[in-house]
Amino acid sequence: MFPVLYAVFMSSVLPPFPQPQEPVDPPRLLEVEPGPGEPCLRADAARNRARLLEAAARLIAEHGVAGVTMEAVAAAAQVGKGTVFRRFGDRTGLLMALLDHSGRQLQADFLGGPPPLGPGAPPLERLRAFGVAVLYRSAEQLELQLAAQPEPTRRYAHPAYQALRTHVVMLLRQILPDGDCDLLSHPLMAYLDPGLIHHLTRQRGMPMERLETGWTDLVARVTGTEPPR
Amino acid sequence: MFPVLYAVFMSSVLPPFPQPQEPVDPPRLLEVEPGPGEPCLRADAARNRARLLEAAARLIAEHGVAGVTMEAVAAAAQVGKGTVFRRFGDRTGLLMALLDHSGRQLQADFLGGPPPLGPGAPPLERLRAFGVAVLYRSAEQLELQLAAQPEPTRRYAHPAYQALRTHVVMLLRQILPDGDCDLLSHPLMAYLDPGLIHHLTRQRGMPMERLETGWTDLVARVTGTEPPR
DNA sequence: CAACTAAACGGACCTCGGTCCGGATCGTAT
DNA sequence: ATACGATCCGGACCGAGGTCCGTTTAGTTG
């Protein structure tokens, strides 16, 4: 539960990142900068947002994700139920917000961190590293990742998903200038789906090492390159 | 809506296929034979099952999948709400039951139908044909397929999913005796996910033809074979 | 045909996600 | 300091999925 609490800690201490309001689209992972034009939250709203995230993290630690009821969170944060929904849109939005910190971290790593994840390494190596990173990140927060999954209709259009996939597409284009990288990115992303990881590791007892070599194998096949070593 | 109604028609006229009771696992697509030991439904139960499926199909035709409320279905079938849940376990189970007919049809086709889908053709061709068949079947019943999706925790373990995946694994093993076909099957299956098809065709406006060539391309890459023509 | 049992039935009931709107509050302009 | 409008708050309310359990009924046995 440490990662969650840490994320929340950061969320409450750093200047609150405004959550979009109108058609509440969850944490836009792509914009690293809050942007100057972003409508900043009112003081009370920001305070309540932090308290809600903290309360949610506490509930997860105590009763698991299933214990994160919108009413329970509201009560634990001593806030009205409506407030939770206004801030996060829906339950999924709240859960995604809890994952926001590690998501930004990951994105920062592959956008500007050190190789092989970040720029500098050849794209094929970056792609391998990317998969491994996502794999382990998901495995660490499996329960939360599973619960935060949006319904299938919105999943693929969701900013958080798109952010990751866009990166895969970029790398693929460098490796396969002539391939339909937009399409090819999907089976690659699917291999990293938290639901699949859950199934393979928890329900079928596969060790993470096998998933890892499975990823490099898949990457090699899809890109038509030689597997490493 | 024709396919749904047809499926229901068949379901009501043919001897009712017993739905497992205890830990309600949805239509086991793999068993073509009801089996002799199967606990047959009581007469009234079978009658109500048929009425419920018919009512559900009618509701879909009239108000779309969103109109399929468990209470609405119960009322339309002039049956108690508890009966719906006893028979189908949950909403997903009911929706899956509506897809049961086309699912069995598909399975029969690739298990015992004519080539290239059925046995007789080389495994690579069968795999290509399989993907195309699943692709178009999903596209036809997209709305229902989407709504019938189980939650991510159960999805990969679900019999209906396993039935299809097992077939892919079998074909893959014939093509790649040395590959980790169990793992490789997953990204292939993922490409055929109704949610993805919905996203690509409805939200991003891709024509089915592109998805189709995308499939053959993916198969060629994963199997390390030459794309056809 | 009567008795009996396992199965099925039905609908009240519970929980939880999500909506709504009158009232309180913050930030600002004067 | 005061007034004002945009924003936010809270909790009553609603709908739908899912559970429970007392009652009914189908099928079987003697």
CATH of the domain at A42: 1.10.10.60
Q: Which residues in chain A (103-162) have CB-CB distances under 8 A to chain B?
A: 146, 149, 152-153, 155-157
Q: Quick one: average pLDDT of B58-63?
A: 96
What parts of chain A have a pLDDT lower than 50? 1-37
DSSP label at residue A50: H
Count Cα neighbours of B195 within 13 Å in the Cβ-side half-sphere.
22
Structure tokens at B35: 């089996």
Q: Residue A196: list chain B partners with CB under 8 A.
A: 156, 186, 190
| Domain end among A62, A92, A122 | A92
| Residue in chain B nearest A145 by alpha carbon | B152
Please indicate, yes or no, whether residues B139 and B200 belong to a single structural domain of this protein.
yes
Residues B66 and B168 in one domain: no
- Find the domain containing A18 and state its range: 2-92
Partners of B119 in the β-ladder: B121
- Predicted pLDDT of residue B169: 98
Cβ contact B183–A157 (<8 Å): no
Residues A60 and A157 in one domain: no
Co-location of B83 and B158 in the same domain: no
Q: Are residues A212 and A139 in the same domain?
A: yes
More confident residue, A23 or B125: B125
Tell whether the model's pLDDT for residue B131 goes beyond 50: yes
Kindly report the CA angle at A88 between A86 and A90, in degrees rounded to 5?
95
In a domain, A145, yes or no: yes
Using CB atoms, which residue from B146, B211, B222 is nearest to A222? B222
- For residue A185, the number of C-alpha atoms closer than 13 Å in the C-beta half-sphere is 22
Tell me whether residues B191 and A186 touch, CB distance under 8 A. yes
pLDDT score at A38: 53
Quick one: average pLDDT of B114-123?
A: 97
Q: Specify the DSSP element, H or E, that contains A210.
A: helix A208-223
In this structure, is residue A200 part of a structural domain?
yes
Same domain, A122 and A78: no
> What are the residues whose beta carbons fall under 8 Å from the beta carbon of A156, sequence distance 6 or more?
A162, B195, B196, B199, B200, B203
How is residue B100 written in tokens?
A: 């049961």
Q: Residue A39: what pLDDT?
A: 66
Give the type of residue at B176: L
Reported as a pLDDT band with limits 50, 70 and 90, residue B229 is: confident
Q: What is the CA A35 to chain-centroid distance, rounded?
A: 21
**Overall residue count recorded for chain B in this entry:** 229
B207 is near strand C: CB distance < 7 Å: no
Cβ of B210 under 8 Å from any chain A Cβ? yes
Q: How many domains does chain A have?
A: 2
Short-list A116, A111, A113, CA closest to A132:
A116
Q: What percent of chain B has pLDDT over 70?
A: 83
SS3 B162: helix
Identify all chain A residues contacting B159, using CB atoms and an 8 Å cutoff.
none
Within A134-220, strands assigned E span none
- B112 neighbors B119 (Cβ within 8 angstroms): yes
Q: Are residues B78 and B180 in the same domain?
A: no
What would the pLDDT profile of A58-113 be if each residue is shown by its tens digit? 999 999 999 999 999 999 999 999 999 999 999 999 999 999 999 999 999 999 99
User: What DSSP string runs through A70-106?
Assistant: HHHHHHHTT--HHHHHHHHSSHHHHHHHHHHHHHHHH
CA distance B112 to B34: 17
The nucleotide closest to A83 (CA, C1' atoms): D9
Of A146, A200, A221, the CB nearest to B222: A221
Burial of A117 (0-12, 13-18, 19+ CB in 10 A): buried
Residue B81 contacts strand C, CB under 7 A: yes
* Mean pLDDT confidence for B129-147: 98
**Amino acid identity at A55:** A
Per-residue confidence band for B94, with pLDDT thresholds at 50, 70 and 90: very high
